[in-house]
Chains A and B, each alone.
Chain A
């Protein structure tokens, strides 16, 4: 395995980490308005209170790693997705400050405003992530210098919009299981009801997007003919999806949550497989104008340095992520330090 492939995998790991971790707190945000009571809303908010910020760092680090390892890709994607990424930024900013500001005032107008912002921005951010994934699957027009030659309408492909909706469904389901784990009593029952709604919504979107992919993005399964063992991941994915409702109905929410994490990991894996060896596929001339892990990468020296940084850094990161999650384990309760 060369460094380029290694960094393709590491970027995938960062993306998986982000999707799993920020996935549940975005999901909590998407479901936030389904409870009406102020204390319940505070409980929901505080279930992710100490964690969401650290979860979002996975995105920042994903961005930094993409910039360092595949600068051409970073530049191309960001300038191509200008408007969606600006909207994503606005959503992330609003989300961060709604969480922080929401409980600082008792005025119900104030709280309703920030509750709405929190939920809307969580849903919008998730949707846009999904759209970005969807567009990457179908490809964008790139010229010989790998520069985007399309416009905003290239980004509004129905397939991409469907993937966006799928992302909202996945995170809503993921978040509802998380809430079920963290809450008690009536609120937990509510989370359970939300879970079933989100799950069936997800199942429907999963089928729609799978069929849509086979029809519109034939290159997505090219690698499966080259590497038949990849089918194992598909099977594992289906098993993980199937295990979620099973574990929930058996009253084992932790298994359901782990299955949901596995489902998300499998999605990222399948997405990466569909792209490989490309990072951004050109819809104009797929062979010549696509950015792949070789023509988009930094020099071997930079990749080596980055590998050293990752080898030193990642274990430490995982260590204190574990410490923080351990510190805030158990059911969420409100105390004087809560939001």
Chain B
């Protein structure tokens, strides 16, 4: 492997974005649950939901802080490591980034302050409004960033054109190379490019799963430890329904994503499914296997015959083969091993989580859900599966689009079929790359990853930053886990105590009555409950 600037920059981007991507899905999913719990609190006036949210918002804030701190890195890297890419896409991509700042970040960060620090400063209704705003802000942010990414996968509403030389006003060449960039033609076509909707809904479903299983994991741990039972069981049930919706959404949007990818980026699907050769008959799905790019086979494979053709073409019995890598020029092949493996593990984990939820619903129906200790143990570790699935989904999407950083769309016949040349090779849309002598070359209308890096940056600089990121992120990760762990160990304040927090004139008589009831219930709790109360008093004085 060649450790050149391109490779190192890719490595750096992969590391930093994978680390960053631990946090946003968690905060988006958890943000939705916080809105739900806050709604329940306002509807029922039950102090338990309030103390629950005080607890979840603390975890949310810590996670959000790390997410923001690591997110700004991506914006910097577009310029520092991928300057040529920035020059190429800036006219199109930049506005999405700016829109994210204006429409999402300000909303999120402003109202997060109210959510974290303002419980006693603002009215209940305004507090509720702030919870919505933080959630909506984080959703907006995901919209703009996935839109920008989707445009790179399936560019639309833009054209690749030669720039004019600012000095002479003539078409611009440097050393005979035309200076090209993508130019916006239609903003809404850029926003609603062919993959935007499918990809954003799939990301949202993934966020719901991550946020849901985060709550499920912590609650089941409390249930196993026999602590904060009332809190844990009630939060668990809501999160279980939420996660079910998330995972069903993941399956549905995953299916529509796969068909979209088959349409728009068949080489990516071929890599994810390990289809080296387009067969004659229906294409199977590999349930398991190790793709071998030397032989062009998937070793040790377990297959379902024809299943991929069924999924992609919705035909039964299946007969149409799914496009394989052999229909693309070798220089346009994505690597297979990483997309294949990450995609398969993601799908496997997704179905495992679905199974876990179904089992949980079965025992809930039997009214013995919280007695199944083995199931609770599974839920404790399930968050790792949810996070891993999210990460791997991102990996397969991003590695699957290589060797392109901006993917060239396919040429199509009038019937919408991919256009092939005499050898059956699929043709990408072409952009005109003029030569200085006046003749015109055609090149695929995209940008190769290796052409996008910064020319002014040298290996040593990138290496330095990778080492620094490595050290800092390792430290950050452990501190984040440590702080999270401390908060979880302390647990939520008992509902009665949360209610004694000063609330001024907003506190109603009805709540007083409710407080005394909940505190009577607290009195029934075991010794551990009292110990926690002490801890909480210490906590609030610190």
Contact = CB atoms under 8 A, between A and B. Distances in A.
Interface stretch (B95-103, B250-258, B288-296): B95-103
Interface string A70-83: 01101111111111
A110 to B, nearest CB: 10
A78 B80 contact: yes
B418 to A, nearest CB: 30
A90 to B, nearest CB: 6
A328 B76 contact: no
Interface centre among A54, A82, A147 (most CB of B within 10 A): A82
B75 interface: yes
Please classify how large the interface on chain A is, using the bins under 10, 10 to 19, 20 to 34, 35 or more: 35 or more
Nearest first, the 9 closest Cβ-Cβ pairs linking A and B are A71-B90, A78-B79, A68-B94, A61-B101, A295-B166, A50-B113, A313-B102, A64-B98, A96-B69
A106 B167 contact: no
Given A82-B457, A93-B476, A71 B86 contact: yes
Interface stretch (B36-44, B180-188, B200-208, B511-519): B180-188
Q: Is the interface of B mostly helix, strand, loop or mixed?
A: helix
Given A301-B185, A320-B107, A101 B79 contact: no
B369 interface: no
Contacts, number: 238
A148 interface: yes
B106 A57 contact: yes
Interface in B62-76: 62, 65-66, 68-70, 72-73, 75-76
Given A299-B183, A302-B92, A86 B102 contact: no
B74 to A, nearest CB: 10
Given A54-B110, A71-B86, A64 B75 contact: yes
24 contacts: A53-B68, A56-B109, A57-B105, A57-B106, A61-B101, A61-B106, A71-B87, A75-B90, A75-B454, A78-B80, A79-B455, A82-B80, A82-B454, A85-B79, A86-B76, A86-B465, A90-B468, A93-B472, A100-B66, A104-B62, A145-B179, A302-B184, A320-B107, A320-B110
Interface string A82-96: 110110011011101
B313 to A, nearest CB: 38
B90 A74 contact: yes
Nearest to A59: B72
B180 to A, nearest CB: 12
A93 B90 contact: no
Interface of A: 49-51, 53-54, 56-57, 59-61, 63-65, 67-69, 71-72, 74-83, 85-86, 89-90, 92-94, 96-97, 99-101, 103-106, 144-145, 147-149, 288, 294-295, 298-299, 301-302, 305-306, 309-310, 313-314, 316-317, 320-321, 323-324, 327-328, 335-338
Given A85-B80, A145-B179, A147-B455, A298 B94 contact: yes
A86 B184 contact: no
A159 to B, nearest CB: 21
Contacts of B73: 89, 93
Contacts of A310: 102
A95 to B, nearest CB: 8
B98 A309 contact: yes
Please report whether the interface of chain A is mostly helix, strand, loop or mixed according to DSSP.
helix
B121 A93 contact: no
Contacts of B102: 61, 64, 309-310, 313-314, 317
B352 interface: no
A337 B118 CA distance: 8
